[in-house]
Amino acid sequence: MPNPLNKIAIVFVVPALLLTGCCRLQKSRDGADGSGAFATGRYRNLFAENGHSRREIRGKVDAAFQQLFHGDPANQTVYYSAGNNSNGTLAYVTDIRHNDVRTEGLSYGMMIAAQMNRKAEFDALWNWSKTYLYHDSPEHPSCGFFSWQAKTNGAALSEFVAPDGESYYVMALYFAANRWGNGGGIYNYKEQADELLANMRHRAMIRGPVFMLRRNTNTTLTVTAGALFNEEHKMVLFSPSSERGQFTDPSYHLPAFYELWARWGPAGDRDFWMAAAAASRDLFPRAANPATGLAPDYANFDGTPVTNSWNRGAANFRFDAFRTAGNWSVDWSWWGKDVRERELSDRLQAFFESKGMATYGCQFTLDGKQLDDRHAQGLVAMNAVASLAATNPRSKKFVEALWNTPTPAGLERYYEGLLYMMALLHCSGEFRVWMPQ
């Protein structure tokens, strides 16, 4: 689709040494590469560190992907083919419980496909996203972004944008460009990533109507919305729309990605994305409880929990917050720039260990009162990823807990399954930075 917005010039950072296997070692011009996998090219395989063989690990990762993307459509897969159009095949990832499609799941699916070298699945998900969810009207408040929620036939359920989806779209597109090269049209991955990333920071404010299904009633709200990041605080917004206000979601913070955007994205935004990475690293210890390490679903820019009338549980550790520890731990694994992330992982894992490794629930007040007894597979997965940053030997227990957790199936397999799949990739050392060729 044509871009109604101004394009911004870009530069490439030239890669240096070719590593064995798949990735390249890249040095930034100012040498600020940290001490993690980006600089060394070495990714920890936590399963191997726990004594599992390479063959076992390969089999486990491949079997989980096969089940979640090509398993029984009745109770295993979350990936569904949806025909063809002029751009090729179409497919979506669906939230089974809610019978809808979300940019969260589509972009996670694309990231998993990029890491697994599954170009066909990647292209089909991206085609579905651009075909049904993308807004190109310069009068729409979501112009340059994607509706976050739709029916499986593509009809919008909400035309608002959810920035976690946009963030994963951008990173997955850059990895696709670097791993497979660029094609034409919507498959010029780098051009698409540059355009979306520029909009995420620079999109002008637009006032207009936005459709959403609210309490089973078609509703149109007039909102004013712009960029997906707060320029002053250098932080991602939960939503750019006026009807929800200006605050953030700690689980949306992806400093590991921002460092790459500073190197690969529009040249004029390098300093902003480096500052955004630093701002996220500062937010994590402010948002996490000093005793439990639990972070809220939503937070103000100073890290204090958000409460509001339309989501009264947002000040607690709930489903969004599953991901927060994974985000700071991957940042440590790739960049190794902030030792506070190690302290946070140790604190969080100590809390969950105290609740019983096989029995802890999935929702808590920040000071540790359990609100839901379900032992969620997605939380088990993210707590294992926290071991990438943890220093205490208990971290091995969390890795083994993930190893012993079956691939999610049934009603909860969407969110639980995608977090599980990404955790397998992280903990096996197979979720990697794919460098420009």
Q: Which residues are catalytic?
A: 104, 320
User: CA neighbours within 13 Å on the CB side: how many for 320?
Assistant: 22
What residues does 79 pair with on adjacent strands? 93
Residue 91: both structure tokens together: 């497919």
- In angstroms, rounded to a whole number, what is the distance separating the alpha carbons of residues 354 and 368? 10
Label the pairing between strands 217-225 and 206-214.
antiparallel
- In angstroms, rounded to a whole number, what is the distance separating the alpha carbons of residues 353 and 46? 18
- In angstroms, rounded to a whole number, what is the distance separating the alpha carbons of residues 15 and 25? 6
